[in-house]
Amino acid sequence: MFKNLSMTALGITAGESQRIELALTHRFRGLELDLPELLEKIERFDLAHARRFIDSAKMQIGEFQLPFAVDADEATYRAELAKLATTAATLGQMGARRCVTTIAPASDTAPYHQNFELHRARFSEIGDLLAAQGISLGVGFDSVAGDREDRAFEFVHDVEAFAVLLSTTASTNVGAIVDTWQLYACGGSFERLERLGAGRIVAVYLSDAPADVAPAELTAQQRLLPGQTGVIDCAALLVRLAELGYDGPITPAASRAQLDGLNTEGIVRKAAEALDAVWKTAGLAPSGKLLSTANSSSS
């Protein structure tokens, strides 16, 4: 597994050259791909021009965001799916291997059972389309109670329902985003996702939570950097992931509200320091393997 920098996960933005410079400076090995920016450059120039910076930096593509909402109306969904078929071929050529999206936790148009069937069918369809290009679809859920308020129908927002949805999705190319903050907020555990199979873990986001707020009362603005309070044991998760042989991105995530007063460089530096500390506590080598395993392999 490798340390991955996502501007989205830290609530900040930056151009490609700055993102790559920050990632290299702070020893990240992977980087979230800004898909709209990439497609704009391809349209203006060509693929070789659009990918030249990330190629020269020898940076892994950690993930890219699915460019449309899975619960969009049928006409919009079909149009976006057709675009994705072309985009996925380009991304596959670049070495992108993970597409990520988050389930909306409520709906104003579809009751639970109808929404469940819609997501199950569409995840299968998207997963099969991406599989043809060697790309996995990683899905996450939103457990924040406030994000379900004033909506007509609640939907998947806890780990149990989430795991059931994934397990009934026909495409085995669809897997889970393991987000420590969302798991903690819903009172769930990684073990429930682990039962889906180690190969179904697509991406991992590490965060911590305040010690004086009950999990069910958390707001999105209270997402802290990993290791900040120790309420969420991120190091233990890293150890387990290493034992399972997970080889994907590990991304630090926090609310922008928790990073007030810092500029973009300061936020990335603080996130890198937090991830480095948790990495060290877990006893991981830079490669993401447990030091004991790495040492025995090299002897």
pLDDT at residue 294 tops 80: no
Is residue 113 in some structural domain? yes
Is residue 297 in some structural domain? no
Mean pLDDT for the chain overall: 95
Nearest-Å Rg of the Cα atoms of the chain is 19
- 94-141 pLDDT, tens digit per residue, is 999 999 999 999 999 999 999 999 999 999 999 999 999 999 999 999
Tell me the two tokens of residue 239. Answer: 């150890």
Is residue 296 in some structural domain? no
Q: Whole domain around residue 243: which residue ranges?
A: 2-285
Rounded CA-CA distance 105/174 in Å is 18
Interhelix angle 16-25/264-281, nearest 10 degrees: 40
Percentage with pLDDT > 90 across the chain: 96
Is residue 293 in some structural domain? no
pLDDT of residue 268: 98
Average pLDDT over residues 38-59: 92
pLDDT of residue 293: 64
In one-letter notation, the amino acid at residue 64 is F
Non-local (6+) Cβ contacts of 229 within 8 A are 208, 209, 210, 211
Average pLDDT over residues 8-21: 96
Angle (CA) 247 256 175, round 5°: 30
- 227-242 pLDDT, tens digit per residue, is 999 999 999 999 999 9
Judged by DSSP in three states, 170 sits in coil
Q: Give the Cβ contact number of residue 272 at 10 Å.
A: 20
pLDDT of residue 299: 45
Q: In terms of Cα–Cα distance, which of 137, 30, 135 is closest to 89? A: 135
Rounded CA-CA distance 149/105 in Å is 10
> Out of 97-101, 105-109, 175-179, 195-199, which region has the weakest mean confidence (pLDDT)?
195-199
pLDDT of residue 292: 79
Is residue 212 in some structural domain? yes
pLDDT of residue 205: 98
Q: Kind of pairing, strands 98-102 and 60-65? A: parallel
In one-letter notation, the amino acid at residue 203 is A
CB-CB contact of 182 with 140 (8 Å)? yes
Rounded CA-CA distance 233/126 in Å is 33
pLDDT at residue 254 tops 70: yes
Q: Give the Cβ contact number of residue 45 at 10 Å.
A: 11
Is residue 27 in some structural domain? yes
Is residue 290 in some structural domain? no
Q: Give the Cβ contact number of residue 238 at 10 Å.
A: 25
Percentage with pLDDT > 70 across the chain: 98
Is residue 294 in some structural domain? no
For residue 36, what is the domain's CATH number? 3.20.20.150
Rounded CA-CA distance 180/209 in Å is 9
Structural domain count of the chain:
1
Judged by DSSP in three states, 82 sits in helix
Tell me the two tokens of residue 287. Answer: 């490669």
